């Protein structure tokens, strides 16, 4: 164990050194981080609390819906954690710079495995932990759960993280051994296919159509019986639900059994991982350095397309954009994150496709349009999640080569604009596709379609601008792994600012949109005071959007011009 701790020591020491010589003013950052994280938690907590209270109030079904939702949350976390662990472990075990040194010193493979397993777990799980705490606290509050629930939640959740970590490492170990040479790209293509399979399973486990469409059941009893069915009795997410849910009411029932199942599987996954590591790690590491196919045969199609697109732009702008696109497509560590993007989008659209709103009694034309409006916020959230991985790191991705930009005759403003446009175009396409497709599934009115597409257009511009601006304020040119860029302080600040911004825009647009929508439905015109309200709210929205577009850009540029490398 001492050796494992020793291997973790440089990481821990590096973190410690960051705080060691801090002065009072240096404490601002952690203080701000803590406050923002707290605010973020409060928002997530309130949102979930409201949803859970609503579910609980539904007679007969309420309790079952809450249990089902918890199962869905755990299942989603499990799948996300597994994929995240596969990607992170590829970096920590095979791509990180310290691996060469570690493998050259006399430490057993098991110890290396365990230290890197803990690092992988830390990197890939903190985000889920951050989201999980307010969600499960909301559950506790709705049920007025005893203190034992919260204590057990902490234990169960930490134990729940073990299995996806172990599974993720095992999969990446096997993949690197199956695919010869250091073709991380090839490895990740296989990963991609695996993820598709996992996604398919995910939907089958969820059976969302059965959740919301009781018509297909001949009797209510059948429906309830279906709702009571476990998502999958063999998955840790199910065991976590079964061990945590009864504790909400202070009942232990089978909690201990499922907890022990979860715990033993977690330990078993670590042990199996260690065994697989002993068999495959060194071989995989070695093979990953044997054949390197670095010769580029050229990509005339892509180059021609980019050349055509960038023709109207200045030579240095063109060069910068082409460089960024090529680097992105050739760097598996960057484009592999598209896997997560793909998952997000598929799940997002599937949700709308699967929502049988017209088949559920009481769901009206009115509700479809309300959902459409809220969909803008949801799409904004998805876009923020995408942007924190692809837009926010844009400046930091220059890495140690940033000296090239700094010593070249390219204005920093132009440099930032290049980053902005390179990020904006794909994100805008994604945003509009999400909104238009989901609105089409919802059969919304033309008015709602226009409002949501226009709103998401400006929200996306602001999200990109904030990503570039805040990314310039918190550049990290010396990270070993690109995933570290967005998982730092700046990434968190960016996410929180994005969500606050989206919330504000939605909140401000909700009232005027409601007024106009109701007036159109009722075939009447707005009163004078209503017009004032509408204009005021829209003006305030425009002001916030403009601030969100220009302010971060200005601050980012100022910060970047002061950078010394």
Partner 1 sequence: MIQLIDLTKHFGQLVAVDHINLHVKKGEIFGFLGPNGAGKTTTIKMLTGLLKPTSGRALVDEHDVVVHPMEAKRVVGFIPDQPFLYEKLTGVEFLSFIGSLFGMKRDEIQWGISQLLDLFELDGWGDELIESYSHGMKQRLVMSAALLHDPKVIIVDEPMVGLDPKGINLVKRIFRQKSQGGATIFLSTHTLEIAQQLCHRLSIINRGKLIAVGTLPELMKALEDKTGQRGTLEALFLALTGKSLDE
Interacting residue ranges for partner 1, rule: CB under 8 A = 292, 294-298, 315-316, 318-320, 322-323, 326-327, 330-331, 399-401, 403-411, 562, 564-565
Task: Supply the DSSP string of 262-290, one letter for each residue.
Answer: HHHHHHHHHHHHHHHHHHHHHHHHHHTTT
Between 147 and 296, CB nearer to partner 1: 296
Contact 549, 462 (CB under 8 A): yes
C-beta closer to partner 1: residue 310 or 464 = 310
Q: Which is nearer to partner 1, 243 or 334 (CB)?
A: 334
Nearer to partner 1, 31 or 294 (CB): 294
Alpha carbons 324 and 401: distance in angstroms, whole number: 13
Query: Measured from the CB of residue 326, what is the shortest distance to partner 1 in angstroms?
Result: 6
Extract the tokens encoding 475: 């550049």
Instruction: Name which of 241 and 334 has its Cβ closer to partner 1.
Output: 334
Alpha helices in 443-488 (DSSP H): 446-473, 483-486
397, 327 in Cβ contact below 8 A?
A: yes
Closest to partner 1 by CB, 216 vs 478, is 478
- Residue closer to partner 1, measured from CB, 59 or 564: 564
Nearest distance in Å: CB 327, partner 1 = 5
Could you tell me if 515 and 529 are in contact, meaning their C-beta atoms sit under 8 angstroms apart? no
Rounded Cα distance between 269 and 165, Å, is 8
Min dist. Cβ of residue 343 to partner 1 (A):
25
Sign (positive or negative) of CA dihedral 296, 300, 304, 306: negative
To partner 1, the closest distance from the beta carbon of 334 in angstroms equals: 9
The span from the CA of 211 to the CA of 224, in Å, is: 10
Q: Please, is 498 exposed, middle or buried when counting C-beta atoms within 10 Å of its C-beta (0-12, 13-18, 19+)? A: buried
Instruction: Say how far apart CA 59 and CA 20 lie, in whole Å.
Output: 56
Q: Which CB sits closer to partner 1, 64 or 406?
A: 406
- Alpha-carbon distance of 197 to 129, in angstroms, equals 25
Q: Residue 170 to residues 167, 269, 275, 280: CA-CA distances in angstroms?
A: 5, 9, 9, 9
Taking the complex as a whole, the smallest distance from the CB of residue 97 to partner 1 amounts, in Å, to 13
Beta-carbon neighbour count of residue 499 at 10 Å?
19
> Please, which residue, 233 or 315, has the CB nearer to partner 1?
315
Pair of tokens at residue 74: 């755990």
Nearer to partner 1, 317 or 487 (CB): 317
Q: Which of 108, 151, 133 is nearest to 48 (CA)?
A: 133
Q: What CA–CA distance (Å, rounded) separates 336 from 221?
A: 45
CB proximity list for 561: less than 8 A, separation 6 or greater: 412
CB of 183 to partner 1, least distance (A): 13
Q: How far is the CB of 565 from partner 1 (least distance, A)?
A: 5
Under 8 Å between Cβ of 354 and 102: no
Nearer to partner 1, 50 or 314 (CB): 314
Q: How far is CA 387 from CA 340, 382, 495, in A?
A: 12, 9, 9
Question: Alpha-carbon distance 546 to 305, whole Å?
Answer: 32
Closest CB to partner 1 among residues 251, 408: 408
Rounded least distance, CB 413 to partner 1, Å: 11
The least CB distance from residue 335 to partner 1, in Å, is 11
Q: Which residue has the tokens 């204009």?
A: 535
Say how far apart CA 354 and CA 368 lie, in whole Å. Answer: 13
CB of 323 to partner 1, least distance (A): 5
C-beta of 285: minimal distance to partner 1 in Å?
A: 17
Give CA–CA dist 401/385, Å, rounded: 27
Q: Minimum distance from CB of 92 to partner 1 (Å)?
A: 19
């Amino acid at each position: 164990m001492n050796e494992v701790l020793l291997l973790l020591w440089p990481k821990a020491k590096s973190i410690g050194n960051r705080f060691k010589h801090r002065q009072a003013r240096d404490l601002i950052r952690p203080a701000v981080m803590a406050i923002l994280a707290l605010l973020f938690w409060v928002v997530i907590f309130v949102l979930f609390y409201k949803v859970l209270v609503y579910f609980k109030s539904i007679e007969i079904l309420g309790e079952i819906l809450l249990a089902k939702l918890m199962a869905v949350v755990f299942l989603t976390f499990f799948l996300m954690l597994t994929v995240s662990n596969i990607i992170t472990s590829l970096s920590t075990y095979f791509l990180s710079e310290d691996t060469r040194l570690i493998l050259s010193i006399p430490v057993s493979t098991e110890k290396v495995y365990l230290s890197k397993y803990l690092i992988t777990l830390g990197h890939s799980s903190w985000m889920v932990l951050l989201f999980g705490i307010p969600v499960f606290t909301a559950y506790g509050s709705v049920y007025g759960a005893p203190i034992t629930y919260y204590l057990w939640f902490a234990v169960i959740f930490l134990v729940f993280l073990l299995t996806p970590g172990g599974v993720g490492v095992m999969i990446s170990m096997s993949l690197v051994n199956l695919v010869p040479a250091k073709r991380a790209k090839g490895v990740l293509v296989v990963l991609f296919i695996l993820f598709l399979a996992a996604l398919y399973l995910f939907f089958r486990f969820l059976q969302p159509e059965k959740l919301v469409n009781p018509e297909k059941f001949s009797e209510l009893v059948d429906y309830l019986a279906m709702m009571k069915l476990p998502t999958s009795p063999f998955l840790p997410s199910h065991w976590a639900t079964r061990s945590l849910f009864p504790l909400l009411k202070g009942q232990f029932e089978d909690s201990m059994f499922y907890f022990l199942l979860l715990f033993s599987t977690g330990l078993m996954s670590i042990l199996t991982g260690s065994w697989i590591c002993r068999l495959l790690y060194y071989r995989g590491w070695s093979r990953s350095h044997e054949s390197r196919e670095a010769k580029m045969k050229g990509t005339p199609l892509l180059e021609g397309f980019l050349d055509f697109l960038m023709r109207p732009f200045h030579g240095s702008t063109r060069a910068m954009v082409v460089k960024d696109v090529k680097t992105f497509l050739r760097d598996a560590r960057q484009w592999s994150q598209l896997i997560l993007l793909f998952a997000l989008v598929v799940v997002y659209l599937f949700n709308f496709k699967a929502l049988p709103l017209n088949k559920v009694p009481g769901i009206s034309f009115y509700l479809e349009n309300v959902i459409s409006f809220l969909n803008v916020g949801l799409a904004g959230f998805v876009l923020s999640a995408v942007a924190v991985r692809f837009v926010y790191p844009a400046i930091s991705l220059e890495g140690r080569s940033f000296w090239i930009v700094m010593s070249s005759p390219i204005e920093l403003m132009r440099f930032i604009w290049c980053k902005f446009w390179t990020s904006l175009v794909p994100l805008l396409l994604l945003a509009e596709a999400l909104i238009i497709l989901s609105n089409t599934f919802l059969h919304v009115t033309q008015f709602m379609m226009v409002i949501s597409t226009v709103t998401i257009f400006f929200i996306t511009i602001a999200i990109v601008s904030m990503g570039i601006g805040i990314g310039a304020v918190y550049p990290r040119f010396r990270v070993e792994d690109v995933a570290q860029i967005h998982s730092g302080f700046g990434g968190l600040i960016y996410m929180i600012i994005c969500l606050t911004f989206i919330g504000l825009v939605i909140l401000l647009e909700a009232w005027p949109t409601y007024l106009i929508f109701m007036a159109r439905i009722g075939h009447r015109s707005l009163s004078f005071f209503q017009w004032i309200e509408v204009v005021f709210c829209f003006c305030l929205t425009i002001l916030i959007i403009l601030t969100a577009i220009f302010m971060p850009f200005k601050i980012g540029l100022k910060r970047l011009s002061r950078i010394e490398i």
